[in-house]
């Protein structure tokens, strides 16, 4: 690992691409579809579980079923992690528009 943090704006495009995994287009489509599906189901399910733990926000704070509420928060976090890791995959020949040399790196 280089001394420069991979997420820092000072990282070169080759260092930023080192985090990406290049896969065939068919696998990329499969990963994208299923990871998005799992992420959405986990996040929506997490909110439903939290809603059930608080009985539609009608309980006082000391009456909330804490283990179920934590399960809901865990599902939401799991969905976010699945989605974040799925963004590391790229199809062959695919790149980020910010990696192009003709664009300034500070364009937002």
pLDDT in tens, 93-103: 776 655 555 55
Task: Note whether residue 7 is domain-resident.
Answer: no
Residue with tokens 């068919």: 26
Task: Note whether residue 100 is domain-resident.
Answer: no
**Whether 39 contacts 75, CB under 8 Å:** no
Please give the backbone phi and psi of residue 90, each rounded to the nearest 5 degrees, phi first: -135, 145
Task: Note whether residue 23 is domain-resident.
Answer: no
Residue 43 belongs to domain spanning: 34-92
Task: Note whether residue 82 is domain-resident.
Answer: yes
**Whether 74 contacts 46, CB under 8 Å:** yes
pLDDT of residue 71: 95
pLDDT in tens, 43-100: 999 999 999 888 887 878 888 888 999 999 999 999 999 999 988 888 877 766 555 5
Q: Using CA atoms of 99, 102, 106, 108 in order, give the dihedral in degrees to the nearest 10.
A: -70
Whether residue 37 is predicted with pLDDT greater than 50 in this model: the reply is: yes
User: Rounded to whole angstroms, how far apart are CA atoms 24 and 32?
Assistant: 12
Q: What is the reported pTM?
A: 0.66
Task: Note whether residue 70 is domain-resident.
Answer: yes
Counting the structural domains of the chain, the total is 1
Task: Note whether residue 75 is domain-resident.
Answer: yes
pLDDT in tens, 5-28: 444 455 555 555 567 888 888 999
């Amino acid at each position: 690992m280089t001394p420069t943090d991979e997420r820092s704006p000072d990282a070169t495009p080759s260092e930023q691409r080192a985090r990406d995994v290049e896969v065939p287009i068919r696998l990329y489509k499969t990963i994208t579809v299923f990871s998005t599906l799992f992420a959405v189901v986990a996040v929506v399910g997490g909110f439903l579980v939290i809603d059930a733990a608080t009985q539609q926000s009608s309980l006082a704070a000391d009456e909330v079923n804490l283990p179920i509420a934590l399960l809901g928060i865990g599902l939401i976090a799991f969905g976010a992690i699945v989605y974040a890791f799925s963004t590391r995959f790229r199809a062959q020949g695919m790149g980020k528009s910010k990696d192009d040399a003709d664009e300034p790196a500070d364009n937002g």
